[in-house]
Structure 1
């Protein structure tokens, strides 16, 4: 709850979402690489892996704030929802009951870490792209002496690329 509060106050959803996923990476490492007799540490790691669920509302908020145009916004929300669903289907399948996996399930715990790292990297890449996009628009605006404001432009169903007044939030 504190991360969403801070994200709302500072308009830094991407950085807060990344910060919420980092405990999941650490938790996956604790579960995968602590000795088998360190049960308390593994239990703490298990609890820490659940911290990444708190980042999901921030990721949806990022999508809502940074994609304009009805079709584009609906498409990105559908992609996010489908990705979440596919992850929930594939995730349990990484815990294979055969072979050398049980009871440690090291490949599955490593998969938790890898996917969490990939999520943080993807968020940070998007934040960087949006930051550079804003800088480019501010620079263009300064060179042109400002944009002529179009009345009710926010209701014209233009995408973020088409609307020169649109600014990304990260």
Structure 2
């Protein structure tokens, strides 16, 4: 399931508004997360996002970080292309291969990870994604697994040695 490519104008510094008619097929299927493709000035950015109904306009909205806006060079008033796709990923975000490999090698940590809510799993995944090198991702994944097994499930402390 996907939308047609749509041209929108960037009108809000924090959100992108999706017209009700465009998002309706997703809403009818109770989908609150989608894969997004944004294109501006021949730069393409793919990511996953939560979509919520805006109480004021009745349209749907998704947050867009300053970092993503900067990557695209997108400013208020700019027109960009967007296309939404059904989120078929297991976690609502791409799992880094380093984290997946570490979890697959540690059954106890994997079981604990899988027992968490979808949002908590995404938080852990984003916690690993933020590291730049593959080695850093592996190191932090190993620390996180040890902390999970010790019962330390606090996001702030999960990637630190204790």
- Between 1 and 2, higher relative CO (CA 8 Å, sep ≥ 6) is seen in 1
Q: Greater CA radius of gyration, 1 or 2? A: 1
Q: Give the TM-score taking structure 1 as reference length.
A: 0.27
Higher helix share goes to which structure? 1
Higher strand share goes to which structure? 2
